[in-house]
Structure 1
Amino acid sequence: MDLAMKLHYLRGVYYFSSQAFQWLTIKKIKEAMFKWLNHYYVACGRFRRSKSGRPFVKCNDCGVRFTEAESDRTVEEWLEMKDLISLQKLMFPDQVIGPEQQFSPQVLIQITRFKCGGASLGLSWAHVLGDAFCAADFIDMWGKFMAGHQLSA
């Protein structure tokens, strides 16, 4: 846990064309996620504070929050929209950590399907878990599990 970081989320969105997403179903995505979260079990915990006020993660297997959404636009139409920066907020769960931290998940994921068959994966990653490189590694590992790879010891 990175104690120098404030309790906030790093956010990012990955976009996929219909060709890249055509063989994936929500069921397959979630099945890979269950395997992958066994290795990133801290991401399934919740924030707590010790008696001294120091934050820590209680590994209680509460899970990550997973949301599904749909858009009536294609990926290309979405990316060409003029107000894309403010619209990006629709691509990931817009939640803050707290005020009751024990109910705040450390990872929130949103899959948005577009009318063209493409999709986006929105990630809200609690910065105390690690920096943007850690979040990217987290997503990369999930992709490897979806592709059928196993972790080597």
Structure 2
Amino acid sequence: MEDRFWETKSLDDMSREEWEAICDGCAKCCLHKFIDDDDAVEAAPTDYMEHNETIHYTSIACDLLNTKTCSCTRYAERQQLVPDCVKLTKENLKDIFFMPTSCAYRRLHEGRGLPFWHPLLNRGKKTAMHREGMSVRGKTVPESDADLDNFEEYIAIWPLEDLD
């Protein structure tokens, strides 16, 4: 891969290998999320968020997540195994309201560059990301162990926002 390709190419112009490399591997996209909407009768999937709504991340992680490495144990099959699994593409990038502000794809899409802790800026290692608390490592409970009827009790209070 070309050195610092993310500084010279748009997300649209990246190869598949480059696109995959942009993922910082924090696993925040593997967390259950909900939108705080006082008017909603029951929880339902959505493709948009109203301006007066707030997205909340929980500490409930997909059962396919390896919480030590912060990677999916069945990445190639994730869409079949978990139909609502996030699959970020060049085509749906404009609709990434559900991704945290620290997400590398979101940052590049918004013109903010990669964060200092990103593995591409740290010899491909996730150490800086984990050290800065920007991954879900050590902060989650598997969905099979969570009381999903009381998901509000799992709202994440650890840092989800950018550090820089």
TM-score by shorter chain over 0.5? no
Q: What TM-score, normalized to structure 1?
A: 0.24
More helix by share: 1
Higher RCO, 1 or 2 (CA under 8 Å, sep at least 6)? 1
